[in-house]
């Protein structure tokens, strides 16, 4: 269950990574401008600034998508931790305790479905 979370939190994580990556790339571009002057401006600064801007625009799109999905998701009560969580699709994870939740009866597993073999 390591590094598993709900679908909305996964999208938000990717948005955050794109934001931080884009800002880091832009800082590298600015460093090239400060270290090498006009030569760094054309070789390092401009391409890195463009790549960083594209990454920041991508993060904005991911955050917009996550927000749109969040408004249309179903809020349910987690059976494990009894906290409200958002559910998207047939299966998703609890935002708090990472329990797998599903609306599909074919994918349900648990202690209630144990078959006795004698």
Q: Is residue 108 part of a domain?
A: no
Q: Is residue 93 part of a domain?
A: no
Split at pLDDT 50, 70, 90, the class of 117 is very low
- pLDDT given for residue 115 in this prediction: 45
Q: Is residue 103 part of a domain?
A: no
**How far is the C-alpha of 118 from the C-alpha of 112, rounded, in Å?**
18
Tokens of 61: 């799109």
**How far is the C-alpha of 62 from the C-alpha of 56, rounded, in Å?**
10
Domain that holds residue 47: 7-73
Contact 46, 30 (CB under 8 A): no
58-104 confidence digits (pLDDT tens): 999 999 998 888 888 888 888 888 888 888 877 788 888 878 888 76
Count of other CB atoms within 10 angstroms of residue 104: 9
For the chain, the domain total comes to 1
* C-alpha pair distances (Å), 45 with each of 27, 33, 34, 49: 9, 6, 9, 6
Q: Is residue 96 part of a domain?
A: no
Q: Is residue 61 part of a domain?
A: yes
Q: Is residue 95 part of a domain?
A: no
pTM of the model: 0.74
Q: Is residue 22 part of a domain?
A: yes
């Amino acid at each position: 269950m390591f590094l598993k979370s709900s679908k909305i939190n996964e999208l938000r994580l990717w948005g955050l990574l794109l934001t931080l990556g884009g800002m880091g790339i832009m800082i590298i571009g600015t460093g090239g401008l400060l270290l090498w002057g006009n030569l760094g401006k054309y070789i390092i600064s401009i391409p890195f600034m463009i790549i960083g801007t594209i990454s920041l625009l991508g993060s904005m799109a991911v955050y917009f998508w996550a927000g749109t999905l969040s408004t249309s998701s179903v809020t349910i009560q987690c059976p494990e931790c009894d906290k409200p969580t958002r559910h998207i699709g047939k299966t998703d994870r609890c935002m708090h305790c990472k329990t797998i939740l599903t609306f599909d009866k074919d994918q349900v597993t648990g202690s209630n479905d144990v078959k006795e073999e004698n």
